[in-house]
Chain A
Amino acid sequence: MQVNENSKEFKPLIVAFCCNWCSYAGADLAGTSRLSYPADVKIIRVPCSCRVNPMFILKAFEKGADGVIMCGCHPGDCHYTTGNYYARRRMTLLFSMLDYLGVDKERVRVEWVSAAEGQRFAMVMNDFAKKITELGENVKLGDIRCKK
């Protein structure tokens, strides 16, 4: 099997928005259980997935993120009752917009992770990081003025 030198070196930059009540706690549980996932994933805590403005995600891409993942409570389990439903709809719209802009839809992902699912959190992050590494550097949307 041939290993592409570039892809081997490539370290993606991944921003993860996690809701305080489920996913952030799930990330903590992954940590407490010592379940590793790539250090490329950097978590931003938000009170609820519905606090994530699609603009934040576009901003991350503009600044050079290669992938953005948003995690919330499972549908029906939102701490604020309905927040993740709003988040889900907004993300669906964002997906179609990204599609229009020519950004690979797989660079953005929405996942539901509960506070009890440390294992799932690590699994989701490993999987997403693997996918983004495969996709390589994000060239669309990136503002060259903010080049790393």
Chain B
Amino acid sequence: MQRIGVFVCWCGSNIAATVDVDRVVEAVKTDPNVVHAENYQYMCSEAGQKLIRDAITEHQLTGIVVCSCSPRMHEQTFRKTAEAAGLNQYMVEIANIREQCSWIHKDKDEGTEKAIILARAAIAKVCLNAPLQPGQSKVVKRALIIGGGIAGIQSAIDIADAGYKVDIVERTPTIGGKMAQLDKTFPTLDCASCIVTPKMVECAQHPNITIYAYSEVEEVKGFVGNFNVKIRKKARYVDETKCTGCAVCTEKCPSRKGRNEFNCGLDTRGAVYIPFAQAIPNVATIDATNCLHFKTGKCGICAKNCSANAIDFEQKDEIFEEQYGAIVVATGYQISDVTKFDEYQYTKHPDVVTSLELERLMNAAGPSKGVLVKPSDGKHPHDIVFIQCVGSRDISGRGKCYCSKICCMYTAKHAMLIREKYPDVNVHVFYIDVRTPGKNFDEFYRRAVEQYNVDYIKGMVGKVYENEKGGLTVQAVDLISNERVMLDTDMVVLAAAIEPSDGVKHIASMLTASIDTNNFLTEAHPKLRPVESPTAGVFLSGVCQGPKDIPETVSQAGAAAVKVVGLLAKDYLVTNPCTAHTDETMCNGCSSCERVCPYGAISYIDKEVMDKGVREVRRIAQVNGALCQGCGACTVACPSGAMDLKGFSNKQIMAEVDAICK
């Protein structure tokens, strides 16, 4: 007979308002295994925990059930409490009577009945619990950062500064990300390159940081502290160790049809290219789809002109494996597809551009050398219209339902920069709402309106069309004056929604990290664990978790780095003892379990077994506790019922079913 203690928490009024806690206590006392039951206002408080500790000692409890909030919230707390009172921490079960009972039911009788049943199920389970000892697993003191934008760079520097090795895997030929493409940053209007390129250099020169640019994560195996990652280093057809970045080849390349990704396709580049002058690593890359050598077998001008002899047409993709203790996802964002909003003529008229394209047009290193010109004819525009929320806050299903957060601010920045540099240009902004929460943000927006006379018009644009003069006409409604607006303009800038980069789904599934309906990675807890993924050892940095601006990204990157450092500082991690195990007398060595195990934790040995008085050598399954993650796939696959899972055994689950169906 077990000696079980039941502790019912009121959680203030969160539970007590819909569950009659006294009745729950009375009801569970009728269970023959329960020797003690009580309720208290806040079980998780120090006083509540003391109550539990005292009861364990006083009543010599062999197991406890805490009827409280979700085990995802306080299971650890109560396990520690039990441990402190000398009870094995795995002799604790939680009945979730808050999230799954009091918070969702209004009727007190109904809530109380359900709470009693949930408590009984937990009691039935805890009676069958066995004391378990957690194991240990070694932590590999190296971190992997996926994505080399400002988020990845910041996380890498912070982790490296703490003394741990960091590898950055970036899929494009250079690190720097979107920030390197920007002209100025709000609200200080300092030059983006001037602040990001020194960080890139710091990364490249840091003794603890290795950059794998033009590389992708191919496969992730293992678990927290012990990830085994395959990285594909894509062929650049240029020997990185020899290339000096002199850029002679990029000038000599006769193929000029490559889309210049760095300038958002506003101009072209050679087949051999360096994305931008400050690229890190500063080496050329050959884009095989445009290269004449790969197309025709001839050319090779780059190789002839390369004094360092770095061109290598024979180069192949290289796959290598590396071990990591922690992984930071910093995959960032991309501009969402605006072609779905073609009433704004984006695909039809070259003078309709996205904000990122405008950013390149205004950048001194951009296609127009920083002179604001219309992409159609290279002439100076006299009137520019900005359209906000293109694809953001959209409930029609064409765009994204969320607010992209950064657009209001960068549009104010663009408007201000244009008015500052070209006072003759009229700037109009069509908006639904102007959202400027942030330090010095609203002041910044007001400066655009008050000091720079930017014309903000509340209302969405219905359509944009080419007028007879060759310019553009914007048709909209001013929601304040309630009048139709027809505006002739020279350029239209679309503040397109931002969305997670397209590879993020693949990366999330490799890491078994969860993503939300918008493909943003989900955090372990929206408030209390915002930089951790629910998957242990995986951390989130930057826009991959949700739209955010540069300062927020940098702070989140730092926060993720601290979490990584906290993990890497440990030599060993405590492993979950809830693993599978075999009943040697029942196992017949059929291999069914081995086939379903995703971790390769099951192997077979020939072992002498004593069964029903007969001693014989049998082939039996063996579970490696360090590799087993406790999913339980093998327990169901086992035809003879020899495989069981500690903590979630067949008997325990059956007992819960019985208790619920009583």
Interface residues in chain A, defined as those with a beta carbon under 8 Å from any beta carbon in chain B: 13, 15, 21-22, 24-25, 27-28, 30-32, 34-37, 39, 42-48, 50-56, 59-60, 63-65, 73, 76-83, 86, 90, 114-117, 122, 146, 148
Q: Considering the complex, which residues of chain B in the window 489-542 have a beta carbon less than 8 Å from any beta carbon of chain A?
A: 508-509, 512, 514-517, 522, 534-535
CA distance A15 to B648 in the complex (A): 17
Asked whether A76 lies within 8 Å of B632 as measured between CB atoms, the reply is no
Whether B534 lies near A48 (C-beta < 8 A) is: no
Task: Evaluate contact between B662 and A60: CB separation under 8 angstroms.
Answer: no
Q: How far apart sit A36 and B660, CA to CA, in the bound complex (Å)?
A: 20
Partner of A47, one of B117, B578, B658: B578
Contact A81 B100 (CB under 8 A): no
Of chain B, the residue at the smallest CB distance from A115 is B514
List residues of chain B with CB within 8 A of the CB of A73. Answer: 514
Flag if B657 contacts A15 (CB, 8 Å): yes
Whether B516 and A116, one on each chain, are in contact in the complex, defined by CB atoms closer than 8 angstroms, is yes
Q: By the criterion CB–CB under 8 Å, are B632 and A46 in contact?
A: yes
With contacts A15-B657, A42-B117, A80-B598 taken as known, whether A31 is within 8 angstroms of B636 at the C-beta atoms is no
Chain B 92-108 interface 0/1 with A at a Cβ cutoff of 8 Å (1 = within): 00001011110111110
CA distance A11 to B345 in the complex (A): 58
* Nearest A-chain residue to B636, judged by Cβ: A53
Q: Is the beta-carbon distance between B121 and A44 smaller than 8 angstroms?
A: yes
Tell me, in angstroms, the Cα distance from A146 to B101 when the chains sit together: 26
Q: Mark B74-107, 1 if CB is under 8 A from A, else 0.
A: 0000000000000000000000101111011111
Q: Of the candidates A77, A82, A90, which one forms a contact with B598 in the assembled complex, judged by CB atoms under 8 Å apart?
A: A82
Residues of A within 8 A of B98 (CB): 31
Which residues from 631 to 659 on chain B have a C-beta closer than 8 Å to any C-beta of chain A? 631-633, 635-637, 645, 648, 650, 653-654, 656-658
Contact of B512 among A34, A81, A90 (CB under 8 A): A81
| Contact B104 A52, beta carbon cutoff 8 Å | no
- Interface contact A83-B598, CB-CB below 8 Å: yes
B217 smallest CB distance to A (angstroms): 15
Cα(A25)–Cα(B526), bound, Å: 12
- The distance from the CB of A83 to the nearest CB of chain B, in whole angstroms, is 5
A117 to B522, CA, bound (A): 11
Residue among B598, B629, B661 with most chain A CB within 10 A: B661
| Minimum CB–CB distance for B127 against chain A, Å | 16
Give Cα distance in the complex from A142 to B512, angstroms.
39
Kindly list 9 other residue pairs between chains A and B, CB separation below 8 angstroms, not including A51-B645, A56-B657, A65-B660: A25-B72, A28-B70, A46-B648, A51-B633, A51-B636, A63-B661, A77-B512, A77-B514, A115-B522
Partner of A50, one of B514, B522, B633: B633
How long is the Cα–Cα vector from A82 to B510 in the complex, in angstroms? 11
Residues B517 and A28 in contact, CB atoms below 8 Å apart: no
Tell me how far the C-beta of A17 lies from the nearest C-beta in chain B, rounded to whole angstroms: 8
Nearest residue (CB) in A for B99 is: A31
**Which residues of chain A come closer than 8 Å to B105, judged between CB atoms?**
36, 39
Task: Give the complex CA separation of A27 and B514 in angstroms.
Answer: 16
Distance between Cα atoms of A83 and B381 in the complex (Å):
59
Q: Is the CB of A24 within 8 A of B72?
A: yes
In the bound complex, how far is the Cα of B71 from the Cα of A148, in angstroms? 29
B121 CB contacts on chain A under 8 angstroms: 42, 44
Instruction: Contact check, B654 vs A56: say whether CB atoms are below 8 A apart.
Output: yes
Would you give the shortest CB distance from B536 to chain A, in whole angstroms? Answer: 10
Minimum CB distance partner of B599 in chain A: A80
Within 8 A of A (CB), among B568-617: 578, 596, 598
Chain A residue numbers with a CB within 8 Å of B650 are 53, 55
- Tell me whether B118 is interfacial, beta carbon within 8 Å: yes
Would you mind naming 24 contact pairs between A and B with Cβ atoms under 8 Å apart?
A25-B72, A25-B534, A28-B72, A31-B70, A31-B99, A32-B103, A36-B104, A37-B104, A39-B110, A39-B111, A43-B100, A44-B121, A48-B631, A48-B633, A51-B632, A51-B635, A51-B653, A53-B636, A76-B509, A77-B515, A83-B631, A114-B514, A116-B516, A116-B517
- Of the candidates A22, A30, A59, the one whose C-beta lies within 8 Å of that of B514 is A22
Give the 8 A-B CB pairs with smallest separation, nearest first. A31-B99, A51-B632, A63-B661, A80-B631, A50-B633, A48-B631, A31-B103, A28-B99
Q: In the complex the two chains form, what is the Cα distance from A51 to B653 in whole Å?
A: 10
Contact B534 A46 (CB under 8 A): no
- The reply to whether A30 and B104 form a contact with Cβ atoms under 8 Å apart is yes
How many angstroms between the C-alpha atoms of A122 and B105 in the bound complex? 12
Q: Collect the chain A residues with CB atoms within 8 Å of residue B630's CB.
A: 47
Judged by a CB distance under 8 angstroms, whether B269 is at the interface is: no
**B184 on interface, CB distance cutoff 8 Å:** no
Q: In the complex the two chains form, is B118's CB within 8 Å of A42's CB?
A: yes
Closest to A15 in B: B660
Query: Which residues, 100 to 151 on B, are CB-close (under 8 Å) to A?
Result: 100-101, 103-107, 110-111, 113-114, 117-118, 121
Distance of B151 from chain A, by nearest CB (Å):
21
A90–B70 Cα distance when bound, in Å, is 29
Q: Would A146 and B661 be within 8 Å (CB), given that A31-B98, A32-B103, A115-B534 are in contact? A: yes
For the complex formed, measure the closest distance between the CB of B507 and the CB atoms of chain A, giving whole angstroms. Answer: 13
A residues within 8 A CB of B662?
Answer: 63, 148
Most buried by B among A42, A60, A86, A117: A42
* Separation of A25 and B630 alpha carbons in the complex (Å): 18
Nearest-Cβ distance from residue B591 to partner chain A, whole angstroms: 15
A36: chain B residues at CB < 8 Å are: 104-106
Tell me if B512 and A86 are in contact (CB < 8 A): no
Which residues from chain B contact A81 at a C-beta distance below 8 Å? 512, 598
- Beta-carbon nearest neighbor of B112 in chain A: A39
Contact A50 B631 (CB under 8 A): yes
A81 nearest CB neighbor, chain B only: B598
Residues of B within 8 A of A64 (CB): 661
- Contact mask for chain B residues 434-456; partner A; CB cutoff 8 A; 1 contact, 0 none: 00000000000000000000000
* Contact in complex: A39, B632 (CB < 8 Å): no
Distance from A121 Cβ to chain B, minimum over Cβ atoms (Å)? 10
The answer to whether B512 touches A116 (Cβ under 8 A) is: no
Interface contact A79-B512, CB-CB below 8 Å: yes
A44 CA to B122 CA, complexed, in Å: 9
**How far is A101 from B637 in the complex, measured between Cα atoms in Å?**
22
Beta-carbon contact of A44 and B512 below 8 Å: no
**Cross-chain contact A51 with B72 (CB below 8 angstroms):** no
B653 with A48: CB separation less than 8 A: no
B517 (CB) vs chain A CBs: closest residue: A116
Tell me if B114 and A42 are in contact (CB < 8 A).
Answer: yes
Please, how many angstroms separate the alpha-carbon atoms of A28 and B99 in the complex? 5
In the bound complex, residues from chain B placing their C-beta under 8 Å from that of A79 are 512, 534-535, 631
Minimum C-beta distance from B490 to chain A (A): 44
* Minimum distance in angstroms from A25 CB to a CB of chain B: 6
In the complex, which of the residues A31, A37, A39, A51 contacts B631, with contact meaning CB atoms closer than 8 Å? A51
Residues on B with C-beta less than 8 A from A44 are: 121, 653, 656-657, 660
Option from A60, A80, A83, A117 in Cβ contact (under 8 Å) with B661: A60
Q: Residues of A contacting B657 with CB < 8 Å?
A: 15, 44, 56, 59-60, 63, 65
**B residues less than 8 Å from A77 (CB atoms):** 508-509, 512, 514-515
Shortest beta-carbon distance, B581 to chain A, in Å?
14
CA distance A43 to B654 in the complex (A): 13
Distance in Å: Cβ of A64 to nearest Cβ of chain B: 5
CA separation between A148 and B659, bound complex, in Å? Answer: 12
Residue from A28, A36, A39, A82 whose CB has the most chain B CB atoms within 10 Å: A39
